[in-house]
Amino acid sequence: MLAIVLENAPARLRGRLAVWLLEVRAGVYVGDYSVKVREMILQNIEEGLEEGNAVVMWSSPNETGFDFVTLGENRRIPIEMDGIKLISFLPDTK
């Protein structure tokens, strides 16, 4: 399983993702692909994200059952503690 959530992403990136994945809500995409295809999709997101941000989650054989990465500027950043990925918040800059 692969899930992607986009915020403030360009329309052309959203359209490109809709070719491979089902957009179940605005900016939320799901699908089920191999590692190779997932890496290609991640590369497309990195190249086309511009000022937006994204979180990409996929099934993984670990204790939580999934893994994820964040892309672009976001207050939420992944950190690893005792072998488990958690989310940390950066201070609000406003």
Domain ranges of the chain: 2-89
Digit-coded pLDDT (tens) for 24-82: 999 999 999 999 999 999 999 999 999 999 999 999 998 889 999 999 888 788 889 88
Domain 2-89 sits in CATH 3.30.70.240: yes
Cα 93 → chain centroid = 23
Question: In the block, which residue shows the tokens 């990195």?
Answer: 46
> pTM of the prediction?
0.87
Query: Could you tell me the CA-to-CA distances from 56 to 26, 48, 94 in Å, in that order?
Result: 15, 14, 26
The pLDDT score that the predictor gives to residue 43 is: 96
Return d(Cα 50, Cα 59) in angstroms, integer.
Answer: 26
Instruction: Work out the end-to-end distance of the chain between its first and last CA atoms, rounded to an integer number of angstroms.
Output: 36
**Exposure pattern of 7-45 as b/e (b: 16+ CB <10 Å)?**
eebeeebbebbeebbeeeeebebebeeeeeebeebbeeb
In this model, does residue 83 exceed pLDDT 90? no
